[in-house]
A = this chain, B = another copy of it.
């Protein structure tokens, strides 16, 4: 916890505030619906689906645990518990890594392949239903454009944020 003084508030203007709250609401409303509908139709949680997708796109349906962690951006403990539950459900298996005793692989089982093969077309249908069916081509282009813009600038923004406590107000005009 820093001992720096609290910066002078530079509150968002009304348009920025509305756009920010809209973006937060959009994430919450869409993600909740996708997760609920997926679970209703397939029995998979959103977390299970994310792990299955990552594995299904990896060569041989196999990833090191740390790779899965990077892909999902989860804390280690959370991913460990998640994998344990999925092993118990038969969706994935743990395999030791011969070269690195500390490492381990997670690999899709046949049941895991079957689950993701069944779930993926449904998930895409849900994404269309709640998200894309509402948007024009121009809006999709705008979304792609703004996502790219923000993502492309992240490395620079990370550099200028620096270490915590070294700046009073990072990046403010």
Taking Cβ atoms with an 8 Å cutoff, the residues of A that contact B are: 1-2, 4, 6-12, 15-23, 25-30, 32-33, 37, 40-43, 73, 117-118, 120-122, 124-135, 139-154, 157-158, 160-161, 163-165, 169-173
Contact = CB atoms under 8 A, between A and B. Distances in A.
Given A1-B42, A18-B144, A33 B165 contact: yes
A151 B26 contact: yes
Given A19-B147, A125-B169, A142-B143, 8 more contacts: A2-B41, A25-B172, A27-B27, A33-B165, A126-B170, A134-B150, A139-B146, A142-B146
Nearest to A19: B144
A173 B18 contact: yes
Contacts of A8: 121
A130 B10 CA distance: 15
Given A131-B150, A151-B25, A125 B7 contact: yes
A25 B143 CA distance: 12
B19 A129 contact: no
A138 to B, nearest CB: 9
Interface centre among A43, A127, A139 (most CB of B within 10 A): A139
